[in-house]
Chain A
Amino acid sequence: DTGVSQNPRHKITKRGQNVTFRCDPISEHNRLYWYRQTLGQGPEFLTYFQNEAQLEKSRLLSDRFSAERPKGSFSTLEIQRTEQGDSAMYLCASEGPGKPQHFGDGTRLSIL
């Protein structure tokens, strides 16, 4: 099963450190989405790519957050100078034309 893969599954870091997450989508999917999910809430949209182009960023995505999808395949989400409020599950999903989104199992970030 070549589903959406996210690494790492868990990340614990100290406040102020930088973290980077990786998402490997389903290979034939051209769209890739990043979401943030906190306890008891649904996923909140952060940003998405069509191939390598980043088409939209949510206002939730402060300037400490940056996402890339350099070759239109895998994507990275970096958070600089992490804060307590960044603790959440970060979910990635990919989507092919006319298809529903397929999600990875997420990266759970804990800020000490």
Chain B
Amino acid sequence: SQQGEEDPQALSIQEGENATMNCSYKTSINNLQWYRQNSGRGLVHLILIRSNEREKHSGRLRVTLDTSKKSSSLLITASRAADTASYFCATDPGDDKIIFGKGTRLHILP
């Protein structure tokens, strides 16, 4: 079963613009993670935010977490062609497994 649900399902933006993706989930979590997947490849971990954190930065990535709304957002600033990929949120409910959403397919236009 998939707990997280990303929004939008697909997003196309011009290179240099910012991209924002949202994730909603259903149950309580220990942490929430974002992963990137290039076509035909495995997933790459981007960033983890713990349930007691509200915002986290890593390079051009900014993640927010609102546990009262059970939602998170991933912002990619100054997008590049290489950012074209699928982005997944994954929630850790504390039972040694993480549960992935369906993903947002991001396409950066030249």
Contacts and interface: CB of A to CB of B under 8 A. Distances in A.
A67 interface: no
A5 to B, nearest CB: 10
A interface SS class: strand
A108 B88 CA distance: 19
A44 B102 CA distance: 10
Interface residues of A, number: 25
B2 A44 contact: yes
Interface string A22-57: 000000000101010000111111001010000110
Contacts, number: 55
A105 B48 contact: no
Contact of A100 (B4, B33, B42): B33
A96 to B, nearest CB: 12
B45 A105 contact: no
Contact of B96 (A55, A102, A106): A55
Interface of A: 4, 6, 31, 33, 35, 40-45, 48, 50, 55-56, 91, 93, 100-106, 108
